[in-house]
Copies of this chain bind each other. A is one copy, B any other.
Amino acid sequence: MAAYQEPLRAPTIKDVAALAGVGVKTVSRVLNDEPHVRPELRSRVLEAVASLKYRRNTIASSIRRLDQRTASIGLVVEDLANPFAAQLTRMVQDHARERRHLVLVGSSDGAPEQERELVAEFCSRRVDGLLVVPSGGDQSYLEAERERGTPVVFVDRPGRRVKADAVVSDNEQGVRQAVRHLAEHGHRRIAYLGDRQSVYTAAQRLAGYRAGMKELGVAEPQARTGLRDSASAQQAALDVLDTEPTALICGNNLITAGAVHAMQQRGVRDRVALVGFDDLELADLLRPALTVIAQDIAAIGRRAADLLFQRLERRDGGPYQRVIVPVALTPRGSGEIPTDGQGR
């Protein structure tokens, strides 16, 4: 009469208790490393756990726990396949692991609707905290979650119409620095290619470009914005190259890729200087190697995770912070091409 078929039911704390000949609470105590259990009972419980291959049901545990914590956090990025997001996710996950937390991820594709949907799903799973790369629109919908005790930290861009911490790169300084760097190599005809200005980072970077050009004393800087992908960036770059700039600054990695293609097409990769925002895999293998404004993704991930876990651990909170992480101009060649006198 022995059970022939595996019951296909995971063993519970009750099964463990029965096998060890103790009460369920004692098993619970052992599993949670609570004191006041005789060593003998403890080892009997552990034996039972091992022989049944028992694995505690964390989600059942979390609904009963007083703090309701699930030891998980949610991360919403724009596109997981983008190297920036991928590295960020990796960093966040590393820091979460240190705190024995798991990470739920999702890509919003820059669509506010998908962002909301993901956040809703995460909250429905009762994540302890949220890290969000906000898309357009506003994040006021997050206010409700915050009030219920789910801390939110924005990454890469600040959220709109909601009180929360944010960790962002120093976009403006980065581009400004790039302009100065190019100027030091004699450039004045520096064109800029950027994403649409409704994207926070794009607006900041454009501002940096304008400020830098103003410093340079150039009255009419040449900026093209609204570039959403490599293809449109390539086309825009072709157009811009026709006006014979001596240098280009690209607002993100997709645009940089498009611009390099365009320069290749025009045969000016060695003549027109180029500085791109965001580092790229193989950037140092291009000829000329790519000079970039590199974001410190490790620092961003670390600061964001730290802020989130601080809010989680210390219930009180304190004032909301905006952390600005420095970027680093990394000269590799393409940004150090001198003007050949064709500049004005």
Name A residues whose Cβ lies closer than 8 Å to a Cβ of B.
6, 8-10, 53, 55-60, 62-63, 70, 72, 79-83, 85-87, 89-90, 93-94, 97, 102-107, 120-126, 144, 147-149, 257, 260-261, 264, 280-287
Contacts and interface: CB of A to CB of B under 8 A. Distances in A.
A107 B80 contact: no
A93 B6 CA distance: 32
A80 B125 CA distance: 23
A159 B50 CA distance: 24
A308 B6 CA distance: 21
B58 A124 contact: yes
A191 to B, nearest CB: 19
Given A58-B124, A123-B55, A81 B86 contact: yes
Nearest to A81: B90
A118 B5 CA distance: 28
Contacts of A93: 80, 105-107
B90 A107 contact: yes
Contact of A102 (B85, B125, B281): B125
User: Which 3 A-B pairs rank lowest in CB-CB distance, beginning with the nearest?
Assistant: A86-B86, A81-B90, A80-B90
B86 A102 contact: no
27 contacts: A6-B148, A8-B148, A9-B148, A10-B148, A55-B123, A57-B124, A57-B126, A58-B125, A59-B59, A59-B62, A59-B70, A79-B90, A80-B89, A80-B90, A83-B86, A83-B281, A86-B86, A86-B89, A89-B105, A94-B107, A104-B104, A257-B282, A261-B284, A261-B285, A280-B282, A281-B282, A287-B287
B105 A103 contact: yes
A47 to B, nearest CB: 17
A124 B283 CA distance: 42
A260 B102 CA distance: 37
Contacts of A149: 8
Contacts of A103: 104-106
A83 B79 CA distance: 12
Given A89-B89, A102-B122, A281-B281, 9 more contacts: A55-B124, A58-B125, A58-B126, A59-B125, A79-B90, A81-B83, A93-B105, A102-B104, A285-B286
B55 A59 contact: no
A192 to B, nearest CB: 20
A62 B62 CA distance: 12
A24 to B, nearest CB: 16
Nearest to A253: B281
Contacts of A285: 257, 260-261, 264, 286
Nearest to A261: B285
A224 to B, nearest CB: 20
A68 to B, nearest CB: 8
Contacts of A59: 59, 62-63, 70, 125-126
